[in-house]
Chains A and B, each alone.
Chain A
Amino acid sequence: MRSRLALRALALGYLALLLVVPVGVVFRRAFADGVGPVWDAVTTPEALHALWLTCLMVLVAVPLNTVFGVLCALVIVRQRFRGRALLNALVDLPFAVSPVVVGLALVLVYGRTGWFGGWLADQGVQVIFSPLGMILATMFVSLPFVAREVVPVLREVGTEQEQAAETLGASSLQTFVRITLPAIRWGVAYGVVLTTARALGEFGAVSVVSGKIAGRTETLTLLVEDRFQGFDLRGAYAASIVLAVLALGTLLAMNLIGPKGERG
C-alpha cells in the first residue's frame, strides 16, 4: 500500500512539475495586472491579423487533409496493389521530418531559386514569404493524422455491411455515404481534432517560409516568438494565452471524442 502511494506521488509530482505548474505560472504572469492589459495585447491590429492568419491555416489545411486522409485510409485498407506498403510508410513521413526541414524543403522547391519558384514568379505567384507557402507548410506537417486515425477503424469495421449494401443495389457513392462514412465518423473526428491542433500550433516549418513580416505573414505562434525576442514579455504571454486556450479546447474535444473513436 505504501509503495503504491509512493508511485502515485512520484508520477503526479513529475506531471505537476513538467506540465501543470509551468502552464499555471504563464497564466498568472499574464494576468498579473488583471484582464485589461491582456485584452489590449491580443486586440492590436497585428495580433488580430495573426489570429486571422492562424485561422486561415486551419480552414485550408484541415479540410484538404481530412479528404486526403479518408481517401488514403480507404486505399490502404481496401485495395491490394503494389506499393501499398510504400504508401503506408509515406503517409507517416511527415512525423519523421523535423519542421525546420519541411520549411527548408519548401524554400528549395518554391523559393526564388527553387525548382518551380522561377516559373511561378513569372506567373506572378509568390509562395515563399507569403501565406500560400505557410499553408503548404501546415498541410505538410499535419498530413498523417486523419489517415492514421481512420485506418485502424476501417480495419475493424470490415466490409460485410458494404457488400450487403452493394448486393441490394446501392451505388458505390451511396455505400460510402450511408455505410462507410457513419462507421468511421469518430475516427475521422478524432483525426480532425489532432490535425487542427497541429495546424494551430505549427511553428518551425511556418517560421522558415514566412519571412515573419509583422501584420502580413505572422501567425499567432510567430507573434509569440517575435514579441518575446522584442522583450515584450507581457505581449508574448498574452498571445500564448490565446494559443493555450485554443489548445485546451482541442484537448477537451480529444477527450470527448477519443474514447468513442477507439471503440469504433
Chain B
Amino acid sequence: MAYVSLVALVPLAAVVARSTDGGLDGFWRSVANDQALASLRITLVASLIVVAINALTGTLVAWVLVRDEFRGKGIVNSLIDLPFALPTIVAGLTLLALYGPKSPVGIDLAFSRAAIVLALLFVTLPFVVRAVQPVLLELDREMEEAAESLGARRRTVFRRIILPNLAPAILAGSGLGFARAVGEFGSLVLITGNIPFKTEVASVFIFSQVESDNVTGAAAVSVVLLLVSLGLLLAIGALSRRVGRHEV
C-alpha cells in the first residue's frame, strides 16, 4: 500500500493540487481555452472512432483465430501481441515509414487526422481480440447447432446466439482500448505533426504545455484526462462484476 502511494498516488495528488493552483477559476480558464478544448475534442472523437473500428475488427480477428483453421495460425496469434511489445515510438516510426511522405505504396497520411486513428488502431489492436478470444473458445457450440437445426439462418445464429454471448467481452476490451487511446502519446508524436486545432491530441498538448512551462495548464487538462479514463475503468469494473454475478 505504501509502495503504491509513493510511486503512484502522491504524484497524481500533486497533479490535482497543482491544477487548482489558480482556484477553480484558473482551472476552468486552463481547460476552457480554445486550444485545450480542441485537443480534448480531437482525442475523444479519434478514440471513439478507434473503439468502434476495434470492436468490429477485433471480434473478426478473434473469430478467425478461434473458429478457422489454417497454416501459420499460431504465428498470427502471437503477432497480435506485437503492439504491446513494440515501443510506441517505434510503432509511430513504423507507420510513418509505410503511410508517410515517402510511402512505398503512395499513401501519405502523415500530419492528418486519419494518422491519429491509424496510430491508435495499431496500439489498441490487442485489447478486443484478447478479451473476446477466451470467451469464444469457451462458448458452447451446442447452442448454435440447436439453433441451426431449428432452421435459423447463420446470420440469425450470429445475431441471436453468438453476439449476446460475446457482448460483455467486446465491451470490456473496447473500454480498455479506449482508456489507452485517450492517453496515448508515443506513437502519435511523430506521425501527427502535432498541429494545434488539427492533429494535436490532449496528451501532446499537455506535453507542449510542460515544455513551455505552463505547468498549471498542463495539470488542468491532465485532470480532465484522468477523470475520463478513471470513470471508464470504474464502469468496466462494475460491468464485469455484474456479468460475473450473472454467470454464477
Q: Which of the segments A40-48, A155-163, A172-180, A250-258 contacts the partner chain?
A: A250-258
**Quick check: B3 and A68 within 8 Å, CB to CB?**
yes
A-B contact count (CB 8 A): 226
- Residue A29 interfacial (CB < 8 Å): yes
- Residue A4 interfacial (CB < 8 Å): yes
**Binary CB contact string for chain B from 203 to 234 against chain A (1 if under 8 A, 0 otherwise):** 11011001000010011001001100110111
A106 and B11 CA atoms in complex are apart in Å by 6
**Quick check: A109 and B11 within 8 Å, CB to CB?**
yes
**Quick check: A98 and B222 within 8 Å, CB to CB?**
yes
**Quick check: A100 and B185 within 8 Å, CB to CB?**
yes
Give every chain B residue within 8 A of A243 (Cβ-Cβ): 86-87, 90
Given contacts A11-B60, A105-B11, A203-B89, contact A254 B68 (CB under 8 A): no
**Binary CB contact string for chain B from 71 to 82 against chain A (1 if under 8 A, 0 otherwise):** 000001011111
**Quick check: A244 and B90 within 8 Å, CB to CB?**
yes
Give every chain A residue within 8 A of B82 (Cβ-Cβ): 19, 23, 247, 251
**Binary CB contact string for chain B from 136 to 180 against chain A (1 if under 8 A, 0 otherwise):** 000000000000000000100000000000000000000010011
Give every chain B residue within 8 A of A200 (Cβ-Cβ): 87
Taking chain B's interface residues, is the majority helix, strand, or loop, or is none over half, making it mixed? helix
Given contacts A14-B61, A254-B85, contact A101 B4 (CB under 8 A): no
B46 to A: closest C-beta gap in Å: 14
Chain B residues within 8 Å of chain A by Cβ, number: 75
Give every chain B residue within 8 A of A95 (Cβ-Cβ): 176, 179-180, 233
List the A residue with the shortest CB-CB distance to B78. Answer: A255
Interface bracket on A: 35 or more
Instruction: Mark A residues whose CB is within 8 Å of B.
Output: 3-4, 7-8, 10-12, 14-15, 18-23, 25-26, 29, 68, 72, 75, 87, 89-109, 114-115, 136, 139-140, 143, 194, 197, 200-204, 207-208, 220-221, 224-225, 228, 236-237, 240, 243-244, 247-248, 250-251, 254-255
